[in-house]
Structure 1
Amino acid sequence: MAKRKKPYLLHASIRPDAEVDYESYPFSIPAVREIANIDFHPNVTFFVGENGSGKSTVMEGIAVALGFGTEGGTRNVRFQSAGSVSALHDSLRLARGVPKPRDEYFLRAESFFNVASYMDETGYLEGYGGRSLHTQSHGESFMAVLLNKLRGNGIYLLDEPEAALSPSRQLAALSAIHQLVEDNSQFVIATHSPILLSYPNAKIILFDKSGLSEVAFEDTEHFAVTKDFLNNYPRRLEQLLRDDTDASQVTHAK
């Protein structure tokens, strides 16, 4: 297998001519204001951070700027069932490598049900293993995308793919992602899963109140909190379940 010299997606920045109001959403989010600092890993780039930190907003902006619909799917899936789209994509400039990817997909956990319904309506199920995604469990349908729909030599955006996956299925997803990386694919993944975050040599970008920063896997809160809980779960449960305990402080207890 020939190695790719460059990733399909190199860099994201705000267009110099964009009219940006940093006091209004989504540019009021600290991480969104620093989006010009995002350089993508040729294999896997992770977005991590608390809910509301801007991960999904930036993922949506990148996806729409690449030509995907806001609900997800391939670039041929063009519908919007509900909700609004942030103006971020209009202000983005994406630097892309060569050659162009042969395959593309945007998996968005929160709207995947709508994509599955769209596939049923159009009758296009061959790429998903030939079965309606609604006849499968949520986890099975997510895996059907990873194992059947994604064909390699592609750019894939995954927004919280672990939402429907058990721990064992997350391990299977990790293996599927690796096989696709080996087949000249590039991933950008927003996740809370320490299992997925363990992918070797990936770039992990932390979204928080200070903006964006690159962190090592072992330095993520996802790794630290999970490791601490599993190693000390009787004590952590005792602390969590006490009536006078502030749950937000438990993870910092010694």
Structure 2
Amino acid sequence: MPTPQEPDFAPVPVRRVERDPQSALPDEHTWPRTIPAVAQLIAEGLDLGRATVLVGPNGSGKSTILEAVAMTYGLNAEGGSTGVMHRTRTTESDLAQWLRVVRGPGASRWGYFVRAETMHGLFSYLQDTVRHDFHRFSHGEAFVELLGSKRYQGDGFFVWDEPESGLSFEAQLRLLSELVEIASQPGAQVLLATHSPLLAALPGAVVLECSEEGMRETAWDRLDMIDHYRRFLEAPERYLRHLRA
């Protein structure tokens, strides 16, 4: 299992995620234990460094893992800061109930969780509580507005689930710049799940690829995702002819 880039004494909010020995695991044939990456996390645990990026195809477990880590840390499943508990519909797995986090000594216990699929609910909550009307913007513009709202400055655990949804190339570059800035802060930590080649290139991050084989650490330029994008951009017809078949 990958090891963190930061030394063991680094004041990151979450040093390690592992199975909670006090929890009762269901049968191994019960979802989400049937997902190889999830099964590996339960069996081996996962060390987190200053920045960790999860990539992989749909259904590979990256968002399930990220959601569970965020909830185990104390973040709301639908997004927001530590302590926020707004809820529209329960869709999360039971994975968080089987895990525990090993916190960094003296590290911040604050955090913020942003996930693409529940952004509308988070924007409604923020409109009701802090009187900031994000709904007057398009999805992409609202996300850029959220980036500029000072919620991501200082120490804390910043969790992002496929935040590239609805963002233009330029907006993704801005988000990547924000992630670089966040990860450079001594008491801050980034955990990201993404399909974006841009965001996956976060400098200094440990990149974990989720697949049918489980979870493995790899380099950005060795990702299947990067290979497919590169091949498509070089010769789109190689892919398009299969779509027309």
1:141 partner amino acid: A
Q: 1: CA distance between counterparts of 2:90 and 2:163?
A: 20
**Is the contact between residue 103 and residue 150 of structure 1 (CA under 8 Å) also seen in structure 2?**
no
- The residue that corresponds to 1:128 in the other structure is none
Q: 1: CA distance between counterparts of 2:182 and 2:148?
A: 9
**Is the contact between residue 48 and residue 205 of structure 1 (CA under 8 Å) also seen in structure 2?**
yes
Residue deviations 1:107-166, cap 9 Å, x none?
0110010011111122x04xxxxx411111211222233232212222100000001211
2:173 partner amino acid: L
Higher share in helix:
1
Match for 1:172 among 170, 174, 177?
A: 174
**Is the contact between residue 103 and residue 152 of structure 1 (CA under 8 Å) also seen in structure 2?**
no
Match for 2:122 among 111, 115, 124?
A: 115
2:100 partner amino acid: R
- The residue that corresponds to 2:145 in the other structure is 144
Q: 2: CA distance between counterparts of 1:156 and 1:84?
A: 21
What is the correspondence of 1:159-238 to structure 2 with a 5 Å cutoff?
159-184=161-186, 185-233=188-236, 235-236=237-238, 238=240
Q: 2: CA distance between counterparts of 1:86 and 1:139?
A: 28
User: Gaps spanning 5+ residues in structure 2: where?
Assistant: 1-6
Are the structure 2 counterparts of residues 174 and 33 from structure 1 closer, same or farther at C-alpha, using a change threshold of 3 Å? same
Are the structure 2 counterparts of residues 45 and 239 from structure 1 closer, same or farther at C-alpha, using a change threshold of 3 Å? same
| TM-score normalised by structure 2 residue count | 0.88
Q: 2: CA distance between counterparts of 1:210 and 1:177?
A: 29
Residue 77 of structure 1 pairs with residue 80 of structure 2: no
**Is the contact between residue 31 and residue 212 of structure 1 (CA under 8 Å) also seen in structure 2?**
yes
**Is the contact between residue 147 and residue 176 of structure 1 (CA under 8 Å) also seen in structure 2?**
no
Match for 1:63 among 67, 70, 85?
A: 70
CA root-mean-square deviation = 1.9
- The residue that corresponds to 1:11 in the other structure is 16
**Is the contact between residue 10 and residue 96 of structure 1 (CA under 8 Å) also seen in structure 2?**
yes
| TM-score normalised by structure 1 residue count | 0.85
Deviation at 1:103, TM superposition (A): 4.1
**Is the contact between residue 48 and residue 55 of structure 1 (CA under 8 Å) also seen in structure 2?**
yes
Paired residues in the alignment total 233
Residue 27 of structure 1 pairs with residue 33 of structure 2: yes
Are the structure 2 counterparts of residues 88 and 24 from structure 1 closer, same or farther at C-alpha, using a change threshold of 3 Å? same
Deviation at 1:86, TM superposition (A): 1.6
Q: 2: CA distance between counterparts of 1:237 and 1:49?
A: 19
2:28 partner amino acid: Y
- Give the structure with higher Rg (CA): 1
SS of the residue 2:127 aligns to = helix
SS of the residue 2:83 aligns to = coil
SS of the residue 1:83 aligns to = coil
Residue 90 of structure 1 pairs with residue 97 of structure 2: yes
Q: 1: CA distance between counterparts of 2:203 and 2:88?
A: 37
**Is the contact between residue 48 and residue 204 of structure 1 (CA under 8 Å) also seen in structure 2?**
yes
